[in-house]
Chains A and B, each alone.
Chain A
Amino acid sequence: MDGEEFLRRMAQGGIEREKVCRESYKWMEGVCRSACRKYRIYDEQAEDITHDVILSVFMKWDTYSGRASLGSWIFQITRNRIFDELRKMKAHPHEALPEGLDDVRLPEQDVLTGGVEQQICVAQVIAALENEPKAKAGSVRMIELLTYIVEGDPSTKELAVFLNTTEGAAKQRRSYLFKRLKELFKELCGDECGRLIKRGDAV
């Protein structure tokens, strides 16, 4: 189900909403559980998070803007709920961390807060990019461009093919993405992309 259909059918109310819930529950549960697995959250914790997220999705359906895909929106809510869980675990260290969490996501106990906070900062930036509309009809959204760069490490020529444009325009688009990321990091995390790179003593 795409976002437009979700909004249209939820707006009809009553029995149609119930149908949407029945049709989409398993898929939504899959998105939530997949995200939980990535963050090494399992068992009862994952069930609780999934329950809370799906409840929020349906009770707050009218806050979904429709800009990001429905899956992205659900993933954003799940990720935020997971971060809240991780923060709680940091606040209550006597409670056991999920198996493997310390090894994979957060290597040292004293890195835990920084790790989660950094993830939250990044999640805010990604969420902001997800909610940004296309520059124009048919163009590639910034979140898609960023994903392509992360996953594909493309050359300028490959980037131009992906964007269906010239190499010069592809370079400009990449520079614009960089500029926008700087703005978002400054606005949401209090620093800039420049701090993402180690240069001399500045990290």
Chain B
Amino acid sequence: MNQDEEDRFFEALAGRGEHAPDTPRAKALREGIKLRADVLREAGEMPPANSMTDTEMSARQRILFNELEAKGLFSDVTGTKQAAAPAPQSFFGLLLGILSSRWSKPMAFAAMLALVVGVVVQQGGVDRPVDESQIVRGAGRATVIRENPAQFVADLTARLEAAGADVTAVQINDREWNVKVSVPPGTKRQAIREQLSNAGFGVIGGEGEIDLAVTKP
């Protein structure tokens, strides 16, 4: 590192100097910092928060609150949200327990087998082996662990969009991304499922929006 390089960098960052017009990266960094500062300054200038009553809540806010409530955020459980919803991976165990308590074990096993076969047939075949240790399921969201979530999400988004899906990827923090996948009418859902399976998400059923997460180890 030399002093000249450093000085010129900070000159460009401060928006002056002969190099400033030719420094797209520095310009972007400068813009990004200024924009962040403006937004936080505006947020700080907002009136102090006061608690809303039900009648004060707008329709938009009410929709959000209902959604949060439906997702179990307000359930009387302390700790993380994962505790609010049973993990799907325990579903079969739970089902086996319920069936076993009412029917004989062979009957319960047969019912389980029929259910599993039904799921696989509906998916159009058996998916390639998936490293289950890399998948975390909880709170209705399938999560895969990857060294470089940003790159993985970018690749996945491109593949899913090429298959016709509408994808919204949001970085939550430096470790985690959320990916919402919806399938527009007329698009083959099976093609989307295959892409997700190839990406390591295993079998994903259901007809609604698919909610995924990608995290660093």
A in complex with B: yes
**B121 part of interface (Cβ distance < 8 Å):** no
Instruction: Check if A196 sits within 8 Å of B9, measured CB to CB.
Output: yes
Instruction: Judge if B131 is at the interface, Cβ distance under 8 Å.
Output: no
When C-beta atoms are compared, the residue in chain A nearest to B34 turns out to be A150
Which residues of chain B come closer than 8 Å to A30, judged between CB atoms?
42-43, 46
Tally A residues with Cβ within 8 Å of B. 81
Q: Map CB proximity to A onto B11-50 as digits: 1 under 8 Å, 0 otherwise.
A: 0111110010011111011111111111110111010011
Partner of A62, one of B23, B28, B80, B150: B80
Report the Cα distance A34→B176, complex, angstroms: 24
Contact of A56 among B13, B34, B178 (CB under 8 A): B178
- Indicate whether A63 sits within 8 Å of B64 (C-beta atoms), given known contacts A13-B78, A30-B42: no
Within 8 A of B (CB), among A46-103: 47, 51-56, 58-65, 69, 71-73, 75-77, 79-81, 84, 91
Contact, CB under 8 Å: A72 / B40? yes
B71 within 8 A of A: yes
What is the distance, in angstroms, from A123's C-beta to the closest C-beta of chain B? 6
Q: Which residues of A contact B63 (CB under 8 A)?
A: 51
Which of B92-100, B104-112, B163-171, B192-200 is found at the contact surface with chain A?
Answer: B163-171
Which B residues are in CB contact (< 8 Å) with A34?
A: 38-39, 42-43
Residues on the B chain within 8 Å of A118, using CB:
24-25, 28
Are A91 and B51 neighbours in the complex by a CB distance under 8 Å? no
Residue contact A63 to B36, C-beta cutoff 8 Å: no
CB-defined contacts of B19 to chain A, threshold 8 Å: 197-198
- Which residues on A are within 8 Å of B, measured CB to CB? 1, 11-15, 17-19, 21-27, 30-31, 34-35, 38, 47, 51-56, 58-65, 69, 71-73, 75-77, 79-81, 84, 91, 118-119, 121-128, 131, 146-147, 149-153, 174-175, 178-179, 182, 185, 191, 193-199, 203
Interface residues of B (CB under 8 A from A): 1, 5-6, 8-10, 12-16, 19, 22-26, 28-40, 42-44, 46, 49-52, 60-61, 63-65, 67-68, 71, 73-81, 150, 161, 168-176, 178
